[in-house]
């Protein structure tokens, strides 16, 4: 239905062929989306910014954060992950691999069932790759059924592209000493 840049933005064929933890949460999902960016920062720094998704979505704050600006400095303690914690207001942390990946899940009337894994890996000294895989089963019926099935992929591209670019830029712009507020 959508061109590949909408469903596979920034990702490589090799990344799309890999398995992700979210695959276990929604194995029969009708929609699969990939998003990926390079970061001029080590994976551990990018992962620490992924932990900030517990505090805010880091996308377009006027749309998805009630107009509040996503924190521009790391919040101490958010790196202490536990399954079940709230993330980006509508998700719950489903699984994580310290320093490597965060997997979250949401179930609701508007978006239906959604599972997402953010994975970061070092690619070279001081550089990393952040890949997100989204699995979705939008609602079939109800007021959000048809609109979500039609608009989830391009809407996610707009929002997640901004999110990943913001997280990469924050990781790139903060030396390690500044990252934990000191």
Per-residue pLDDT tens over the stretch 75-127: 999 999 999 999 998 999 999 999 999 999 998 766 779 999 999 999 999 99
Is residue 99 within 8 A of residue 44, CB to CB? The reply is: yes
pLDDT band, residue 63 (cuts 50/70/90): confident
Q: What is the pLDDT of residue 179?
A: 47
Q: What is the pLDDT of residue 112?
A: 79
- What is the rounded average pLDDT for all residues in the chain? 89
Q: What is the mean pLDDT of residues 152-158?
A: 83
Q: What is the mean pLDDT of residues 123-143?
A: 87
Judged against a pLDDT cut of 70, whether residue 175 lies above it is answered with: no
Looking up residue 86, the CATH number of its domain turns out to be 3.30.530.20
E runs forming strands in the chain: 31-39, 86-87, 91-97, 101-108, 112-124, 127-137
Residue-number span of the structural domain to which 149 is assigned = 4-179
Instruction: Provide φ and ψ at 29, rounded to 5°.
Output: -60, 140
Measured over the CA atoms of residue 23, residue 26, residue 29 and residue 35, the dihedral's sign is negative
Number of domains present in the structure of the chain: 1
Q: What is the pLDDT of residue 35?
A: 97
Q: What is the mean pLDDT of residues 149-173?
A: 89
């Amino acid at each position: 239905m959508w061109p590949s840049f909408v469903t596979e933005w920034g990702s490589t064929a090799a990344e799309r062929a890999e398995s992700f933890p979210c695959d276990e949460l929604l194995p029969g999902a009708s929609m699969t989306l990939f998003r990926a960016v390079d970061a001029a920062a080590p994976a551990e720094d990018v992962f620490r910014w992924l932990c900030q998704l517990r505090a805010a979505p880091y996308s377009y704050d006027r749309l998805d954060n009630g107009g509040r600006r996503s924190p521009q400095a790391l919040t101490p303690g958010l790196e202490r992950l536990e399954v079940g914690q709230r993330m980006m207001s509508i998700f719950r942390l489903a699984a994580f691999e310290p320093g490597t990946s965060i997997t979250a899940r949401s179930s609701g009337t508007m978006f239906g069932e959604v599972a997402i894994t953010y994975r970061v890996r070092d690619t070279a000294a001081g550089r990393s790759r952040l890949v997100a895989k989204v699995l979705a089963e939008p609602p079939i019926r109800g007021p959000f059924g048809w609109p979500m099935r039609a608009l989830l992929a391009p809407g996610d591209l707009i929002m997640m592209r901004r999110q990943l670019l913001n997280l990469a830029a924050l990781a790139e712009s903060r030396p390690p000493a500044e990252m934990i507020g000191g």
